[in-house]
Structure 1
Amino acid sequence: MMAWFYLFLASLGEIFGMMMINLYLADKRGWRLIPVVLVFSFGFLFLSLAMRDLPMGTAYAIWTGFGAAGAVLVGILFFHEPAGWKRLLFISLIIIGAAGLKLFG
């Protein structure tokens, strides 16, 4: 059970790491790279902890899926990226696929 919690935290690291990259690109000051490295390191740490108990393929698929879906949602909510129905449909499919891996993996 802790492995899934670690994987959730790793996914948050992926989502917020992408957000930090976007903030860095908006204002390219050197110190803004520090949060990028720290947040991604946080994500990799928890991914490695999750992979102690979960198969690599399952852990990686869920981590990247939730990371991608979360990054798109953060982009829509905070960076005014487009939120068309097709985009939201495919985000839903990513999340459904990750849930299927958990249920049947």
Structure 2
Amino acid sequence: MAWICLACAGLFEVAGTVGLNRWSKRRDLIGLLIICISFLFSFSLLTVAMQDISMGTAYAVWTGIGSVGATVLGMIFYGESRQAARLFFLALVIAAAVGLKIVGE
């Protein structure tokens, strides 16, 4: 259950990042609500996950989900670069998170 909470926390972090992007461009109430609600859920679920997963592993996986998710959404919806090197390093982040799961818990 802790790993499911951690994955959901990472997804809410991605949503919060999308809200930050919206807020930086529009300064509207919807963007602000997305930021507040998403990060509230993200930090709450991360806290729950850390009851059973070590802090270092939980934080690394949470950050990895957020980084990869935000980057992929940026590529799909915001026209950000899709260079091969960028995709390679995203794959390394994913491999590191999977490796932490395999050896850490």
TM-score range, shorter chain: over 0.9
1:10, 1:30 → 2: CA distance?
23
2:58, 2:28 → 1: CA distance?
34
Partner of residue 14, structure 1:
13
How far off is 1:29 after superposition? 2.3
Partner of residue 5, structure 1:
4
How far off is 1:25 after superposition? 1.3
Whether contact under 8 Å (2:15, 2:34) holds in the other structure is: no
Q: TM-score, normalized by length of structure 2?
A: 0.95
Partner of residue 31, structure 2:
32
**How many residues are aligned here?**
104
How far off is 1:52 after superposition? 0.7
Unmatched segments (≥5 aa) in structure 2: none
How far off is 1:32 after superposition? 2.6
Partner of residue 90, structure 1:
89
Q: TM-score, normalized by length of structure 1?
A: 0.95
- Matched ranges for 1:37-56 at <5 A: 37-56=36-55
Bigger shift: residues 4-13 or 29-38: 29-38
1:39, 1:10 → 2: CA distance?
9
Letter in 1 for 2:43: F
Letter in 1 for 2:12: G
Deviations 1:54-100 (A, max 9, x none): 00000000000111011100100111111110110000000000000
SS where residue 83 of structure 1 aligns? coil
**What is the RMSD of the two structures over their aligned residues, measured on CA atoms?**
1.0
Letter in 1 for 2:38: V
How far off is 1:50 after superposition? 0.3
User: Percent identity among equivalent residues?
Assistant: 40
